Structure 1
Amino acid sequence: MSANSSAMLQELGELRSRVAWLDEERRKYLRRVAELEQQLNAQERKRNDSEQRMLTLERELVQLKAQSSQYPQVDAKLQVLKDEIVQMIEQYDKRRLSAQDEAERRRRVEQEVQARELADLRKELPAIGRLQEAMELRQAEESRLAQLIGVLQNKANSFDSRLEDQSREIAYAAESEKQNNRSMTELQAALHEQSRRWEPIMGRIDSLAASIMRHESSTSSTVEAQEALRKTVNQWAEQVQLGEYQRNQRLEDWRSVLDEQQEVIEQFRREWVRYSDQYKESKMAVQTMTAWQQHVEEQQREVAETLRVETNRMLSRWDEFLLENEKRWKNSEVDDEQRWAAANRLNKGLQEQIQLLEESIQALQREKETLWRIQSAQTDALKALPRIWQEETEKAINQDPNRRRQPTLVPIKDE
């Protein structure tokens, strides 16, 4: 009995120790469960954070996909920009070629105009030679005309002296004519008076003739005297008429001579005026030809200088245009290269960023899968712990109490 009681006491002691150990183990399990719950909560928080991070990454991925969807647009824009640059370069080449053609055309037109002007000047050069010859001939003619004018002046002086003499003679003749007219008037008056006086005498002569007819013998001497007187009077009248006719004839001759002299003087004056005009025209022509020759020479010098200056200016402008065009072309090439390098760098950086993002996404996906596996394993382990604890407890309870051995416990890993 005592043995049984001692055995029972021992068994109870073992049971107590085992219960205490189990209680301790339960507390450990509870603490472990609490720790696991804390870890689970922490893992849950981490999972939530991971989910938030995944959502953020998904949003970023969507944005990156949206941005990456814009890459074809960027490529298209770059292609459009490239096409525009090519078109601008082609347009610039066309404008440059058209400007070169226009400059060449203008240069040809200017050269043609200058060539025509030079040809006109060359055509006028023989005319200048002819004009010089004509000027020499004109100068010789002018010298001859000057000599002739000198001779004519001398003749005119002598002719003026002769005209003065003739004028004096004409004045004397006019005065003589006036005196003759007065004498003729006086003679006509005297003749009229004589004829008036002779009328009664003629009547008396007629009466005397009748008486003489009757007395022919006594009056024969008287008739002869009368006939002689009549003849004398007729002769004197004829002489007076002849003198008057001669005087009138001389006056007509002198008047015709004066008219001829006036015509000669008028012709000489006209010739003098014409010679003076010709001399003035010749002098003006000589002066004009000299001035025109100087003007032509000055114009030739100006044309040559203008041609030289324009040629130098066109050459300098052409050189400047070539240098400027080459500089612009080089600058355009450098700008294009810089733009292409910047575009390539940007494209390369974007590709590297996309590659890094893809690698980050893949790493996050792997981390997510790992976390899901860990959480699934932890959840399965946590779910299995109560069952294992219950099975072990039931196994310990159902174990034979007479057996004196420690119960076999399943160790639980901290994980």
Structure 2
Amino acid sequence: MAMDVTQTMDLTQAMQTLKWLDEERRKDKATIAALQEWAQEQERQLAQQAAQIQELQTAVAGIQSLMAQVTKFEQMVSNYKNELIFRMDQREEARRKEQAEAERLRRIELEALADQLSRLDKELRVLPRYDEELKARQAEGQRLNEALQRLEVAVIDLSKRLEDPSRAITYLEEQRRADNRRIAELEQDTTELRKKIEAQAAKLPLLEETIQKQRTRIEEAIQYTKEFEKSIEELRISDFQREQKMKQYLDQSEQVAQEMERIRAQTQGFIEQQQLVKQALEKLEGFQARLEKRQNEVAEMQRLAEDRLKRQWEEWQEEQAKQQRKRDILSEERWRQQEQTNAEYRERLDALQPIIELHRNQLDILWEARRADATRALKAVQDEYEALIAQADAQLSILRGEQK
């Protein structure tokens, strides 16, 4: 009986134990089902978080590409600035080379002009020879005047002797013989004078040719200077040296003008002497007419040559002054345009600098904000992930401990 009671109690305990175990098993199943659902939920959350992480990584890649674009933009601006500086340096170097080339051409031109003036000076050295010839003509005219004065004295003496009737016939015969001798001498002197005048007249074309050569050489010098006008127009340097050279040239031209004035005065004196000779030789009408005609021609040719040279010199001076004004205006205009271009470039660069700074600051702020957001999102995901992993590890530890 006691054994029955004991067995009954053992059976009851066993039944209770079975019930408890069955209850615990159901609880475990429910717990396992709940854990499985929680694990599935965690897997879904992990998948969502992985998708979010992928999106964040894509966003970070986009941000990095934008950062690369910003860097490229800054590099592009820097390259543009460097290119502008390089072009400005090239332009400045080209301008310096042009100035050096223009200076070299100017020196060549001035040397050529100096050579032309030197040759002109050498050719003007022959003028004293003409001066000597003019002096010789003056001396010849003076000699003729003295001969005429002697002739006038003889005529006066003849007139006085003719007043005495008693000696008239004898005197007339003697006077006739004397007159014949004097006429022969006068004819001889006239022949010699005619030869000398013809010789001088033959020399006049040479003088005219020399003057014509001088005019041609001056025109050649002017033409030679015009060949360099295109290069000279672009320059505004070496003004002081050019003014000094021009002053020297003007002084030389003044000396030439003075020399021409002296020659003209001597020629005028020679013409006056010829007029005196013409007045003294009134009886020699044919010779006087030819001589007067030739003198007038020489005087007119001399006047025309002087007027032509003077006009050409004035025209050359006016042309040089006009060309100089044009060169100064063009040079000033080019300097003004260059300064305006430089000012525009500086304004553009100055205007770009604050914009670049503003964009850089805004980009820095934007990327710092995006970086902070990404860091916070990543930290939140990592915290949640670590919490989930800790819970999963804890549950797995519990399950594994119960199984053991």
TM-score band w.r.t. shorter chain: 0.3 to 0.5
Structure exhibiting the larger radius of gyration computed from Cα positions: 1
So what's the TM-score if we normalise by structure 1? Answer: 0.46
